[in-house]
């Protein structure tokens, strides 16, 4: 173990609940395994909740860092049934299943008792207080002897994200059992955008309450990693895209009454503009709700080809794509350049694991083509020194996590990120928000928080349509 991992385990060893808020790539999993191993005298089993994409990684890490064998680990699958869960010490469960699977929930309910340690890996996935996943995880873990959460991004949207994660550990840490009670004492709500948080009050009080149960460390404090380099490739929109961009302005801004210009509507505008910048537009008829899928000639694929041409021959490359529409186009290009293994949410877990294994083979496909929403967490992809972003998402956390898949413990070479970026208002805004370590929507809310009327908000949105060229 590294020094910061030992320090974390030592601090939390005497506690039945605790939080590891270590930056991505600093070895949270290793620390959590150590804490679980130190509690073998007290618990009979460990239930490890994690992103579905990480289940096999967690299994491999347990085998690597403990004396347990394969028979001691049960990874939940579509064959796991309530009342017929195999006997094991470690149970690895996809956290997303709690949202959608009554079968998994029932199987867990018969498993967790006062001799169980429950680990919530990437616990910011439990940050939404009323989400089914959050409520089920909190309810299921309540009888456990101990609970541990770990994430490198505990507050992706703000300090309020800590409420549900701390409630999962123990509601007495913050002193609130309900989101309503917490928000009454600590949340100032926006007057412009219903449901949007303006400010969290008394953050120092909240920090003092969680401090005794938390170990936090940054990458800079504990690791000496190689450099990160960013290499953007810019492209101009085609005439067809320019026309569609203007049409979207009427569809989703100029033609929209003030009372309908909500934060959700603004998010739809942002999404539509990035779709157009990527060569397509899922245009929704405002009257009938019917969706028309439009495609346009674009230069994005050629920009990616140019970017990948800068990579030394034979180097493994990760290519991140936001939109599933773009996967087919990009896959065709990558097949020309050396072959691609796919890793996205429309594949089964087994197929994704097989694709990763094939890509990691030196003789396997050169490119790993994936979506950050599926592969951007909990995976170590240090085989690649290069990662290309065909599109960036709106979430800072998602972009940051995806970048760190191949910049973590074990990486010995500088990592280069190739950013394909259209010269247009929405992609300028995405880049600016990321530079400020903010999501696109949060950055926009901060801007409009300084103005007092909807015409000023419309003016700010109008900046998205200012024409520039690469």
CB contact at 8 A, 197 and 212: no
User: E strand or H helix at 283, and its extent?
Assistant: strand 280-284
How confident is the model at residue 258, as a pLDDT?
A: 78
**pLDDT digit string (tens) for 223-257?**
899 999 999 999 999 999 999 998 888 888 888 88
**pLDDT digit string (tens) for 179-232?**
999 999 999 988 777 777 888 999 999 999 999 999 999 999 998 999 999 999
DSSP letters along 38-84, please?
A: HTTTT-SEEEEEE-GGGHHHHHHHHHHHSS--GGGEEE--TT--TT-
**pLDDT digit string (tens) for 310-340?**
999 999 999 999 999 999 999 999 999 989 9
* More confident site: 467 or 166: 166
CB contact at 8 A, 95 and 49: yes
* CA distances, 42 to each of 38, 57, 114, 175, 457 (Å): 9, 26, 10, 27, 57
**d(Cα 232, Cα 296) in Å, to the nearest integer?**
23
**pLDDT digit string (tens) for 368-395?**
999 998 888 889 999 999 999 999 999 9
pLDDT band at residue 436, thresholds of 50, 70 and 90?
confident
Domain ranges for the chain: 3-222, 226-470
pTM of the model: 0.82
* More confident site: 470 or 395: 395
How confident is the model at residue 450, as a pLDDT?
A: 54
**d(Cα 25, Cα 22) in Å, to the nearest integer?**
8
Strands 45-50 and 187-189 turn out to be unpaired
* More confident site: 361 or 264: 361
CB contact at 8 A, 284 and 291: yes
**pLDDT digit string (tens) for 10-53?**
999 999 999 999 999 899 999 999 999 999 999 999 999 999 98
Helix (H, G, I), strand (E, B), or coil: what is residue 319?
Answer: strand
How confident is the model at residue 257, as a pLDDT?
A: 83
**pLDDT digit string (tens) for 275-306?**
999 999 998 887 787 889 999 999 999 999 99
- DSSP designation for 408: S
Tell the residue number behind the tokens 């456990």, with chain if given: 144
CATH numeric code, 226-470 = 3.40.50.300
Fold of 3-222: Rossmann fold (3.40.50)
Q: List the Cα angle 59/62/64 in 5-degree steps.
A: 110
**d(Cα 336, Cα 412) in Å, to the nearest integer?**
29
Which of 158-162, 401-405, 416-420, 446-450 comes out lowest in average pLDDT? 446-450
Which of 63-72, 134-143, 430-439 comes out lowest in average pLDDT? 430-439
| Percent of the chain surpassing pLDDT 70 | 97
**d(Cα 62, Cα 68) in Å, to the nearest integer?**
7
- Long-range contacts made by residues 352-358, C-beta under 8 angstroms, separation at least 24? 352/53, 353/56
How confident is the model at residue 469, as a pLDDT?
A: 56
Tell the residue number behind the tokens 């309910």, with chain if given: 109
The residue-averaged pLDDT of 259-265 equals: 77
The residue-averaged pLDDT of 386-412 equals: 94
**d(Cα 70, Cα 90) in Å, to the nearest integer?**
10
Tell the residue number behind the tokens 């195999």, with chain if given: 86
Give burial (CB, 10 Å; 0-12/13-18/19+) of 139: middle
User: Fold identical between 3-222 and 226-470?
Assistant: yes
């Amino acid at each position: 173990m590294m020094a910061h991992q030992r320090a974390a385990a030592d601090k939390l060893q005497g506690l039945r609940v605790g939080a590891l808020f270590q930056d991505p790539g600093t070895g949270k999993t290793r620390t959590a395994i150590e804490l679980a191993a130190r509690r073998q005298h007290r618990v009979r089993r460990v239930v490890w909740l994690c992103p579905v994409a990480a289940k096999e990684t967690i299994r491999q890490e347990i085998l690597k860092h403990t004396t347990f064998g394969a028979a001691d680990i049960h990874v939940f699958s579509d064959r796991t049934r309530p009342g017929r869960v195999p006997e094991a010490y470690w149970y690895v469960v996809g956290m997303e299943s709690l949202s959608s699977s009554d079968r998994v929930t029932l199987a867990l309910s018969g498993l967790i008792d006062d001799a169980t340690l429950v680990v919530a890996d990437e616990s910011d996935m439990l940050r939404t207080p009323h989400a089914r996943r959050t409520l089920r995880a909190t309810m299921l873990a309540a009888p456990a002897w101990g609970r541990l959460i770990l994430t490198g991004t505990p507050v992706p949207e703000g300090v309020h994200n800590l409420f549900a994660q701390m409630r999962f550990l123990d509601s007495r840490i913050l002193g609130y059992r309900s989101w309503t009670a917490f928000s009454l004492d600590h949340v100032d709500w926006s007057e412009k955008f219903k449901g949007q948080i303006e400010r969290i009050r008394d953050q120092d009080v909240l920090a003092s309450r969680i401090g005794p149960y938390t170990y936090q460390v940054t990458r800079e404090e504990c690791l000496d990693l190689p450099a990160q380099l960013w290499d953007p490739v810019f492209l101009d929109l085609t005439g067809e895209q320019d026309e569609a961009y203007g049409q979207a302005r009427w569809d989703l801004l100029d033609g929209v009454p003030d009372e309908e210009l909500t934060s959700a509507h603004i998010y739809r505008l942002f999404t539509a503009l990035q779709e157009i910048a990527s060569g397509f537009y899922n245009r929704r008829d405002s009257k009938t709700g019917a969706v028309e899928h439009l495609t346009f000639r674009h230069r994005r694929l050629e920009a990616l080809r140019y970017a990948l041409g800068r990579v030394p021959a034979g180097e493994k490359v990760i290519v991140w794509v936001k939109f599933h529409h773009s996967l087919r186009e990009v896959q065709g290009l990558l097949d020309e350049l050396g072959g691609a293994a796919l890793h996205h949410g429309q594949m089964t877990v087994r197929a994704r694991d097989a694709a990763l294994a094939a890509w990691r083979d030196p003789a396997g496909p050169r490119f790993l083509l994936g979506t950050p929403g599926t592969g951007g967490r909990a995976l170590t992809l240090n085989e690649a020194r290069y990662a290309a972003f065909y599109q960036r998402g709106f979430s800072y956390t998602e972009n940051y996590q995806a970048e760190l898949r191949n910049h973590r413990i074990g990486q010995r070479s500088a990592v280069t990120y190739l950013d394909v970026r259209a010269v247009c208002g929405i992609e300028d805004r995405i880049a600016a928000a990321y530079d400020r370590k903010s999501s696109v929507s949060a950055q926009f809310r901060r801007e409009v928080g300084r103005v007092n009327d909807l015409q000023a908000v419309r003016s700010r949105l109008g900046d998205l349509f200012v024409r520039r060229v690469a």
